[in-house]
Amino acid sequence: MTPDFDLRRVRIAVIGLGYVGLPLAVELGNRYPTVGFDINAGRIAELRAGRDRSLEVEPRELRAVTRLTYTDSADDMADCNLFIVTVPTPVNAHKQPDLRPLKTASRTLGAVLKAGDTVVYESTVYPGATEEVYVPLLEQGSGLELNRDFFVGYSPERINPGDKRVVPLDNFMIYKDIIRLDRPD
């Protein structure tokens, strides 16, 4: 099986609607069916009301987007086939990355992944973390196997908060040329 990147059939989920995820979800939602998922119900409520407290996206742009829905229920991502993870990776007091948001998001996705789906990690991760930590959670949750049943890619972050010069859609171009993760067995 190979990743299905027919953009006529793509249904995108963006997981984590913060500084990085919301502008990306809005840009994609102008073109493709897109679900914006966040565990923060308050964030979902404000976005549904057309407000973005991070001020990354203008109210006018939020109102104009036609193919984006917001949810805090993972079930609403069941029909999606491309999952883009943009949850935070804070550093703790010992300067160690806090992997919990990415682990939680990976478990959530493990429960919704289907054969043929692709997951792209856009959150900042240390080298090896995707293969060693997150992919096993996807496999355990879904019962599927990487590179046989589903695919994982990594997209380096390109958005600076407040910098409107970098268009989030630039990131999406990378996904069409996705790099497969090949694990040493």
Q: Which residues would be at the binding site for ligand NAD (CB under 6 A)?
A: 15-21, 37-40, 43, 86-89, 101, 104-105, 108, 123-124, 157, 159-161
Which tokens in the block code for residue 8? 């006529």
Smallest gap, in angstroms, from Cβ of residue 91 to ligand NAD? Answer: 9
Smallest gap, in angstroms, from Cβ of residue 7 to ligand NAD? Answer: 24
Cα separation values, 51 from 99, 101, 174, Å: 29, 24, 29
Closer by beta carbon to ligand NAD, 69 or else 89: 89
Closer by beta carbon to ligand NAD, 73 or else 145: 73
Closer by beta carbon to ligand NAD, 125 or else 181: 125
Smallest gap, in angstroms, from Cβ of residue 6 to ligand NAD? Answer: 26
Smallest gap, in angstroms, from Cβ of residue 67 to ligand NAD? Answer: 20
Smallest gap, in angstroms, from Cβ of residue 148 to ligand NAD? Answer: 26
Closer by beta carbon to ligand NAD, 7 or else 55: 55
Closer by beta carbon to ligand NAD, 121 or else 184: 121
Alpha helices in the chain (DSSP H): 21-29, 41-48, 59-64, 100-110, 129, 135-142, 169-176
Cα separation values, 133 from 66, 116, 185, Å: 35, 21, 15
Are 135 and 180 in contact by the 8 Å Cβ rule? The answer is no
Cα dihedral sign, 73-55-95-131: positive
4: CB partners within 8 A, 6+ apart: 81, 116, 118
